[in-house]
Chains A and B, each alone.
Chain A
């Protein structure tokens, strides 16, 4: 029973939001709310608290934070910490908002991570570079003597893969923001060969709060397996976009509309998974009208999946993951195939072009999906797509980074969830009445070599 995982043990209700103030906060407001940065005075001391908190990375991979901290802390010599705010997912807005509203929480976390690992070099890497809010926060902190380690700001190029760990390290090192083949991981050999801790900016903000209030406080939100809260970027079917801090384990139906105006959900962004709307009948089977009490025959009842919730333990059963928290409710007047094809075209163009299966496979997958999204696709296209994204995928798991895997997951789930639409298109029909694009994509797709730096 997954209910036990998701049901919080007896505990006090957590007060949210934890991370986002109502209005952007300067250093004075930050200190009034949270007090000074709680330095531990020694390398490694914070790591036990982070381990006890159960904090996982909020950049998408959900890797246990303490493990990366511990690996870098145990290394000798020069070490580096990086705040990764390059949320390259075009639909994600949460890191940008966090850096604008609570830059001091992120910078606290960066300094605490530097202390915990013994790093003497710190970086902030974002698509927006040195924004007024960041420059102001750094200046105020310098004047107050808060930051033991100087922070260098680097602007990330406008590419989907720019925030990938090894791509980030390459960019900070002066090269193009393209991924490299691992191992060694950047925690072992990162920037200029130094062990490098890369953490998403939201992760660092959580570290700053755990350092102040402790792991027990952190665990008052979320599930026991995946504690805490997370920032999500939510697109409603009416087209509105908002950033919501949600407890992990929150039912998706409280964040996304599931009524007749919604066709399907996208969970986890453009490397994520399309989900059909939860069927109320599957959750509470209605008793047949004339047969009296419903008969339950042991072994014959098919257990219905739980309604999807915002945690990986539950979403895994749907082949999905929370990723970096992008959630979208596709309106019922749109064609899911057309939406998926647009995004697949973008993802194909965003291949770094380094690995054969990605370079060759993604454009073909995107072209095939575009044909399937149009009227009367050729018959062989379905077979081609099956070979590229099916269970024996020729693309999945064959790149240096996870770009081909994420793209395959996205396209595969679209073909499953929008299967009825595929049949309509075969007959030259489409159920969409509104052909305006719904999911956001960057205006132009950069193509020149310079765009990687």
Chain B
């Protein structure tokens, strides 16, 4: 049961292959993204996001989209690699 689930998730991750990308010029260091998605985004000592460069795992897909939508500077994007 667990095995099948894992295979499915790996497959989904391969299919989407979306990664979070910050446009560092647009980013104002508001910090919403790091609050909404601490699994993939942390804030540096100046409040700017450090983003996990790996593809977004499927179980975090909803949260990632929420963080993208919440960015007040529209600086966070999901990009296909």
A residues lining the B interface (CB < 8 Å): 180-181, 354-358, 360-361, 387, 394, 398-400
Contacts and interface: CB of A to CB of B under 8 A. Distances in A.
Nearest to B21: A181
B47 A394 contact: no
Given A181-B26, A354-B25, 9 more contacts: A181-B23, A354-B24, A356-B28, A356-B46, A356-B47, A356-B48, A357-B48, A398-B50, A400-B25
A400 B24 contact: yes
B25 A355 contact: yes
Contact of A181 (B25, B29, B44, B48): B25
Contacts of A394: 44-45, 50
Interface residues of B, number: 13
A180 B26 CA distance: 10
A360 B25 CA distance: 13
A400 B26 CA distance: 10
Nearest to B28: A356
- The 3 closest A-B CB pairs, nearest first, are A356-B48, A355-B24, A360-B46
B27 interface: yes
Interface of B: 23-29, 44-48, 50
A357 B44 contact: yes
Contacts of B29: 356
A390 to B, nearest CB: 14
Contacts of B44: 356-357, 394
Chain A: interface secondary structure?
A: loop
Nearest to A358: B24
7 contacts: A356-B29, A356-B46, A356-B47, A357-B44, A358-B24, A360-B46, A394-B44
Contacts of A387: 45
Contacts of A358: 24
Nearest to B44: A394
Contacts of B46: 356-357, 360-361
> Of residues B24, B28, B45, B50, which shows the largest number of chain A Cβ atoms within 10 Å of its Cβ?
B24
A358 B50 CA distance: 13
A400 B27 CA distance: 11
B24 A399 contact: yes
A356 B45 contact: no
Contacts of A180: 25
B74 to A, nearest CB: 12
B45 A355 contact: no
Contacts of A400: 23-25
A313 to B, nearest CB: 27
B48 A398 contact: yes
Nearest to B26: A181
A361 B50 CA distance: 14
Contacts of A356: 24, 27-29, 44, 46-48
A181 B28 CA distance: 14
B49 to A, nearest CB: 9
A355 B48 CA distance: 9
A400 to B, nearest CB: 5
A361 B44 CA distance: 10
A387 B47 CA distance: 15
A358 B29 CA distance: 13
Given A356-B48, A357-B46, A398 B24 contact: yes
Nearest to A394: B44
A262 B31 CA distance: 48
Contacts of B50: 394, 398
A59 to B, nearest CB: 22
Contacts of B25: 180-181, 354-355, 400
Contacts of B28: 356
Nearest to A181: B23
B34 to A, nearest CB: 13
Nearest to B75: A181
A360 B26 CA distance: 15
Contacts of B45: 387, 394
A355 to B, nearest CB: 4
A354 B23 CA distance: 10
A368 to B, nearest CB: 13
